[in-house]
Amino acid sequence: MSCFADGFFADQQGCPILPLGLQTHNSSTGLPEMLKKEIDAVLQYGGNLFEAPVYWVQVEKREGEYDFSQALELIELCRDKNIHLILLWFGINKNGHPTYCPEWVKADPRRFPLAKGPDGGDVATLSPLAEETRKADLRAFTRLMEFLRDTDGDMHTVLAVQVENEIGYANTDMDYSEAAQRLYRRPVPPFLRDISLEDSGITPSGDSWVSCFGRHAHEAFAAWCWADFVQHLAEAGKKVYEIPLLLNAMLGENGFEEPGLCYNSGGPVSRVLDIYRKTAPGIDVICPDIYVQDRERYLKILSRYSRPDNPLFVPESPVMGTANALNMMEAAADPRFCGYACFGAASALDAQGNLLPEAREVALSMKTIASLAPLLRRRAGHVYAIVQQEFMDKQYLHLPGWHVECTFNSASGSRFGLGSFINTRDPFNRDLMETRGRGLLIQTGDSEFYLAGCGVRVDFRMRPEIGYERSYVQLTSRMNGTLNFLSVEEGHFEGDRWVTDRFRNGDEANFACFVHRGEAVRIRLNAAR
């Protein structure tokens, strides 16, 4: 049975998996020809993962009658291409709205009430507190898990299931209905009273929501309501079929970061992650959907979702663009990284099903990560992100025992290292000298490294030992640098085994260790002094 252990997705034998891939557009499920093209795009990205929704409105058009033919189609398409599938349950809440609910739910607001805004008017979100709503969604979700157990329990094509999608209240900071307000006036559950929310303005005390969470009391209450809702689904689902469950988040790091105005209130934003972790332990990973370009904010988001109790999985990010191509390296270098996906597979393709030029940068980055996936999923060594930020011509890494200089082709204009090795028929070789340099460097031993990426050349110099008087002489010796290698091997992994495709030497190794199209290189340096 597929599981989640030691910070990684795993297969039925407990072997770790590093899922990398693409997510379909919201309305692609049920369109087999489009899905085939999008799954092919995953392979063009070097990925092994496809994410696609299952719609409650299609699963249960009439109450109590279930149809999982679209889910079966997804499973069979992915199984045929030997890639993993993560199913997204679009139930009562999709980006704050009930748009994927069956018509019999939408047409009966007395039985399935909407939440209320502060003015008493309806908001476009079903209340997670309504008992009939909770029961109906739970029944349908449980039937989905039963279907997966019976259909895929032996093959394990489905790696995980995402519960709902970017949950929360749209256009209000909490539910102001009478039922919600009665619950709000009750004491805070004891297991939440020691949580201190950032910027709450108070030290938690007492047992009311405001005494515990200050100005964020409404958001904290909303988060608890939604976390309790998804926990009920998670518990019921796992009793039927033990499979990893995910919860994705509309980011709170938007605008001036106020709930109901800048993002859906009550969703698993970073501010309330502690509430979710204590209320919904049945959720294995809470995942940020990151459509952020600037590095500073991107790293801030990574640091908030990468926690000892929460591995780092990014289920949605831009399918194209230089910013995501660069930022992806930062995510992969995080010590808790366990997977990455980009949203909108069809948007990466032209009419013939080929990758658009705008998509190639992100595809190169995913190919880079995939080429080192066996090391990443085994946590085999320290991982360093190489990223050419604006105006940067070099990046320096201060490693134990080594000075490492990373030179970027687009800034230097030098063609050292390209030579005749480049295959001009490879579509990824277009504009190699203009692409923004990036990559991953993994140190697996005192003098052993694996490098993958594009547009970058890496040079090593042995650092003098502390107290060594003749350090200048050592550092100025050319034999102290990359020329003093034992071997430079370009290759690939088959399972966890490294396979050498080509030994680099002469012009392909003497000037620096280069990577240009996402390939992997194993570097063994000579540490003899």
CATH of residue 135's domain is 3.20.20.80
CA distances to 89, 112, 147, 352 from 57, in Å: 11, 15, 17, 32
Residues 412 and 311 in one domain: no
Among candidate residues 114, 231, 112, 116, the one with its CA nearest the CA of residue 164: 231
Q: By mean pLDDT, which of 88-92, 142-146, 522-526 is the weakest?
A: 522-526
Local confidence band at 431 (pLDDT 50, 70, 90 cut-offs): low
Among candidate residues 310, 307, 276, the one with its CA nearest the CA of residue 192: 276
pLDDT in tens, 210-223: 999 999 999 999 99
Residues 337 and 412 in one domain: no
User: Cβ(170)–Cβ(96) under 8 Å?
Assistant: yes
Residues 200 and 244 in one domain: yes
pLDDT in tens, 233-260: 999 999 999 999 999 999 999 999 999 9
User: Model's pTM, two decimal places?
Assistant: 0.94
- Can you give the residue range of the structural domain that contains 86? 3-371
Residues 347 and 494 in one domain: no
Residues 349 and 438 in one domain: no
pLDDT in tens, 298-315: 999 999 999 999 999 999
In this prediction, residue 81 carries a pLDDT of 97
Position 106 pLDDT exceeds 70? yes
Q: Which two tokens stand for residue 156?
A: 């394990």
Residues 346 and 398 in one domain: no
Mean per-residue pLDDT of the chain: 92
Position 419 pLDDT exceeds 60? no
Give the span between the Cα atoms of 525 and 130, in whole angstroms.
64
Among candidate residues 496, 516, 159, the one with its CA nearest the CA of residue 339: 159
Local confidence band at 386 (pLDDT 50, 70, 90 cut-offs): very high
- Is residue 377 situated within a structural domain? no
Convert 464-486 to b/e letters by CB count within 10 Å (16 or more is b).
beeeeeeeeebeeeeebbbebbe
Local confidence band at 325 (pLDDT 50, 70, 90 cut-offs): very high
- Is residue 131 situated within a structural domain? yes
Position 450, amino acid:
Y
Please state the domain count of the chain.
Answer: 2
Give the span between the Cα atoms of 224 and 192, in whole angstroms.
9
Residues 200 and 152 in one domain: yes
- Residues 6+ positions from 5 with CB-CB distance below 8 Å: 14
Q: Using CB atoms within 10 Å of the CB of residue 99, give its burial: 0 to 12 exposed, 13 to 18 middle, 19+ buried.
A: middle
- Is residue 56 situated within a structural domain? yes
Q: Using CB atoms within 10 Å of the CB of residue 69, give its burial: 0 to 12 exposed, 13 to 18 middle, 19+ buried.
A: exposed
